[in-house]
């Protein structure tokens, strides 16, 4: 099978425990793009926190794409333009903020190159470090300048987040997509937004059939894209639910997972 596109999650999939791309992964990704395969980074990360990695992989040269915010935004890197986005409005931001505060959990949202959070702690600091974005504290949500965002997050202890997710999903099932990405991160996007739906949109633009794409991931927010892919792949360190729907289990994110996939399915000469 000659797959035309590879879409991969970033954290705990493409990126290793140091949050970097290994030389082995990088070389294989550049080689597969040289053969004409489209490469897509599909992440819960804000787009701002994906650009440097895309440049490292020369995706702008080869016509790659970014699916940021769990698919809430699609960027055409070669043309340097946004081809899709769907945002939460300020009322949505305040609603999700209040759900976090009422449960003694942390809250943040993104705007341009800045993270707005209600407090600095081990959870919000991890996201600030991962994304390398600026930080502004939310002192009073009602006094904040009205703005929109593509994604909000509630953060905290995994046990508390699991309970909160079930309650919030039931309450807002008609308004938001609620995903746990990392055990300490619960992510909110507009209803209908996920990696799988955005990949479908991209495939329509490229005139690709979804059976001609390979998708690689590790966590629940990757489930939607693995479900639509002709070749769904889980990394060795993935959650068991993803492994169950995958046709192949690749090596771990710390052992060049993407290179393993490319070597097996894209016939890269050694």
Q: How high is the mean pLDDT of the chain? A: 95
Q: 111 — phi, psi (to 5°)?
A: -150, 120
Element (DSSP H or E) covering residue 84: strand 81-85
pLDDT of residue 242 exceeding 70, the answer is yes
Edge-to-edge strand ranges of the sheet holding 176-180:
134-137, 114-117, 106-111, 152-155, 185-190, 176-180
Pairing verdict, β 73-76 and 176-180:
unpaired
Q: Give CA separation, 219 vs 120, 155, 238, in Å.
A: 25, 16, 6
Per the structure, the complete domain to which residue 70 belongs is given by 5-85+193-265
Residue 105: inside a domain: yes
The span from the CA of 112 to the CA of 98, in Å, is 23
The span from the CA of 64 to the CA of 59, in Å, is 5
**Are 159 and 244 contained in the same domain?**
no
Q: How confident is the model at residue 2 (pLDDT cuts 50, 70, 90)?
A: confident
pLDDT of residue 268 exceeding 60, the answer is no
The span from the CA of 216 to the CA of 137, in Å, is 35
**Are 95 and 50 contained in the same domain?**
no
**Are 165 and 213 contained in the same domain?**
no
pLDDT digits (tens, 9 = 90+) for 114-159: 999 999 999 999 999 999 999 999 999 999 999 999 999 999 999 9
Residue 26: inside a domain: yes
| CATH number, residue 146 | 3.30.1240.10
Residue 69: inside a domain: yes
pLDDT of residue 269 exceeding 70, the answer is no
Compute the C-alpha angle 228/208/5, nearest 5°. Answer: 75
pLDDT of residue 270 exceeding 70, the answer is no
The pTM for the full model equals 0.89
pLDDT digits (tens, 9 = 90+) for 168-200: 999 999 999 998 888 999 999 999 999 999 999
The three-state (H, E, C) secondary structure of 192-234, written as one string: CCCHHHHHHHHHHHHCCCHHHEEEEECCHHHHHHHHHCCEEEE
Q: According to the model, what pLDDT value does residue 46 have?
A: 94
Residue 18: inside a domain: yes
């Amino acid at each position: 099978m000659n797959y035309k596109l590879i879409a991969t999650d970033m954290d705990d999939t493409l990126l290793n425990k140091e949050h970097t791309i290994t030389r082995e992964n990088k070389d294989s990704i550049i080689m597969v793009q040289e053969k004409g395969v489209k490469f897509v980074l599909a992440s819960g990360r804000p787009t701002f926190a994906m650009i440097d990695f895309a440049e490292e992989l020369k995706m702008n040269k080869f016509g790659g794409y970014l699916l940021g915010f769990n698919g809430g935004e699609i960027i055409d890197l070669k043309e340097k333009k946004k081809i899709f986005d769907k945002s939460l409005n300020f009322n949505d931001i305040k609603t999700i903020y209040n759900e976090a505060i009422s449960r003694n959990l942390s809250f943040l949202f993104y705007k341009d190159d800045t993270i707005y959070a209600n407090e600095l702690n081990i959870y919000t600091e991890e996201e600030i470090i991962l994304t390398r974005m600026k930080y502004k504290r939310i002192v009073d949500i009602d006094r904040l300048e009205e703005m929109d965002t593509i994604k909000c997050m509630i953060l905290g202890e995994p046990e508390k987040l699991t309970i909160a997710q079930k309650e919030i999903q039931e309450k807002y099932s008609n308004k938001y997509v609620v995903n746990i990405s990392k055990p300490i991160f619960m992510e909110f996007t507009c209803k209908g937004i996920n990696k799988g739906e955005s990949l479908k949109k991209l495939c329509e633009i490229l005139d690709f059939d979804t059976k001609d794409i390979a998708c690689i991931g590790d966590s629940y927010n990757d489930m939607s894209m693995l479900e639509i892919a002709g070749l769904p792949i889980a990394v060795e360190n993935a959650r068991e639910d993803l492994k169950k729907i995958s046709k192949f289990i690749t090596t771990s994110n710390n052992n060049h997972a993407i290179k393993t996939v490319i070597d097996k399915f894209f016939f890269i000469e050694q």
